[in-house]
Amino acid sequence: MIDLLTIFVLAVFVGFEVVSKVSTILHTPLMSGANAIHGVILVGAILITGSAESTLELVLGLLAVFLATVNVVGGFVVTDRMLEMFRK
C-alpha cells in the first residue's frame, strides 16, 4: 500500500512540474490532451470486465469500457484537430 502511495506522491510532483509554465495559447489543447489521458480508465474497465463473474459486473464493466473508449479516442482526435491549426 505504501508503494502505491509513494507513486501517487511522486506523480503529483511530476504533474505540477510538467505544466508549470504554459502559454495561454495552449491552455485549451493541454486541457483536452490531459482529458484524453485520463481515458486510461479504459485499462481498468478492460481488466474488470475481463474477470467479471456476474451479469451485474459484466454490464457495469462493458458500459465503462464503452464510455472510456469514447473518452480516449474522442479526446486524442479532438486535441489533434486543434493542434493541426497551429502547424505552420
Partner 1 sequence: MTTVGLMYLVASLCFILALKGLSSPKYARYGNLVGAFGMLVAVVTAYVHGVVHNGLWILVAIALGVVVGIPAARSVKMTAIPQMVALFNGVGGAAAALVALAEFFAVPDTTVMFRLATVLTVLIGSVSFSGSVVTFLKLQELMTTRPVLLPAGQQLAIAAAVSSVALCALTMAVPNGFLLWLLAVVGLALGVLFVLPVGGADVPIAISLLNAFTGLAVAASGYVLANTLLIVAGTLVGASGTILTRLMAQAMGRSLANILFGAFKATTAAVQGEEQRTVKSGTVEDVAILLGYANNVVVVPGYGLAVAQAQHAVRELVSTLEKRGVAVSYGIHPVAGRMPGHMNVLLAEADVPYEQLKELDDVNPGITSVDVAVVVGANDVVNPGARDEPSSPIYGMPIFDVDRAKSVVFMKRSMRPGFAGVDNELLYNPKTTLLFGDAKDSLTKLLAAVKQL
The contact mask relative to partner 1 for 53-82 (x = CB under 8 A, - = no) is xx-xxx-xxxxxxxxxxxxxxxxxxxxxxx
Helix (H) or strand (E) holding 78: helix 55-84
> What are the grid coordinates assigned to 12, written together?
503529483
Minimal distance in Å, beta carbon 36 to partner 1?
6
How many of the chain's residues bind partner 1 (CB under 8 A)? 79
Q: What is the per-residue binding string for partner 1 in 16-55, x denoting contact by CB under 8 A?
A: x-xxxxxxxxxxxxxxxxxxxxxxxxxxxxxxxxxxxxx-
The residue written with cell numbers 470486465 in the block is 49
Minimum distance of partner 1 from residue 86's CB (angstroms): 6
Grid coordinates of 29: 489543447
- The residue behind cell 500500500 is 1
